[in-house]
Structure 1
């Protein structure tokens, strides 16, 4: 019962992390223009993985999508790929977790369900690492430009989407690790059950054949088996 509760908790935590990671894709504020050292702010610049925008003092925003994927900076392309991979892995991990958990009635035997759930935990863990790498790479670019004294263009600060992505990544990684820990007991129980069945089979084989082997060792032949009709009478039965 406790193992089932742990699996459900891990599933809820990992799924919540995957939802948070998925919500960072359409979020606008991946980076926001810095107002450090600025007395009068007339516009606010912000952008994400898909577009860049500017908002004036009246609250009117003007956005422009990135014109070409091949013309983008390399770090934006890498972040896009990592975030899409994280979302896809989290989707398949959620489906596998629903099949592999003990509280569900699908998936087959306990050993097969344990393997499926182990694969789901591995996918959640990799999904969290992908989103964590994407957010960290994007934040590293922002901070390196902010603290570079030779960078004279517009400087930015970390947006809200990065913190949401970091939180979701942590939940995905934590949920995947809890899946691994909860399934170690299931694998050990399955192995012990297999060993127990093997021991019972060996014991029954020894008990059934041990007596006849002992009689042969003492020079005695075991009594004939008359249970089969073909062995009750031989060719000299009527002589």
Structure 2
């Protein structure tokens, strides 16, 4: 059918969004060191992520260290960790449900209408995943920008937007598009007319031919 490419495009974009969400969660480039001024000699670069911070000094390889205590982390970092982990799990579930709802996948006892609902559910989960990704990414970016323009904060403590934040925005956009395509396929499938053609998933009864009912004639009364 004409709507089958929507399934494939939605699931491919959903897979790319899943990979991007996982990369955003694991990369340490959420907050990078800011270099304010033109006469500054850069001796080291500092990266801060959800799970570790990394330091690259001049002519020294990159050194990363995981955060030691979970309870000592700021609440913003703890919330960002939780939301990104939920987003990864939710996108994985959405991808599995979407694969089960594809036309080419044969499941026992599943009709085309049920598969369309599975694809719609997958699309909704992808949209929720995009919202969960946007919350910590935008929250962290807001804090970085606010502190950067705050004159009370020392120049050495200011940070800039890292590559992981831009990857998070891109991943959220991709899963939003994937969810929209899958939900659109579900809506288009539900609006199809009920025709008796194979492959549409509708069980239409054939028209019943009227039976030949004998016409009873009126009784005649004979008078003698």
Q: What band does the TM-score fall into relative to the shorter chain?
A: 0.7 to 0.9
Deviation readout 1:10-67 (Å, 9 max, x if unpaired): 1111211111111122212111100112512222111100122322112334433222
TM-score, length-scaled by structure 1? 0.79
Say if 2:126 is the partner of 1:124.
yes
Q: Which runs of 5+ in 2 are unaligned?
A: 220-224
CA distance in 2, matches of 1:182, 1:125: 15
Q: Which runs of 5+ in 1 are unaligned?
A: 221-239
**Where does residue 139 of structure 1 map in the other structure?**
141
1:2-81 matched pairs, under 5 angstroms = 2-37=2-37, 39-81=40-82
User: Aligned pair in 2 of structure 1 residues 149, 219: CA closer, same or farther (>3 Å)?
Assistant: farther
Aligned residues: 212
**Where does residue 172 of structure 2 map in the other structure?**
169
Normalized per residue, which structure has more helix? 1
CA distance in 1, matches of 2:194, 2:137: 41
User: Aligned pair in 2 of structure 1 residues 118, 39: CA closer, same or farther (>3 Å)?
Assistant: same
TM-score, length-scaled by structure 2? 0.83
User: Aligned pair in 2 of structure 1 residues 123, 195: CA closer, same or farther (>3 Å)?
Assistant: closer
Q: Any conservation in 2 of the 1:83–1:131 contact (CA below 8 Å)?
A: yes
The SS at the match of 1:96 is: helix
CA distance in 2, matches of 1:54, 1:113: 49
Q: Any conservation in 1 of the 2:116–2:185 contact (CA below 8 Å)?
A: no
Q: Any conservation in 2 of the 1:111–1:190 contact (CA below 8 Å)?
A: no
The SS at the match of 2:160 is: strand
CA RMSD, 1 decimal: 2.7
Moved over 4 A (4+): 190-196
Deviation readout 1:137-189 (Å, 9 max, x if unpaired): 11111111111111226111011111111111110011001111111121123
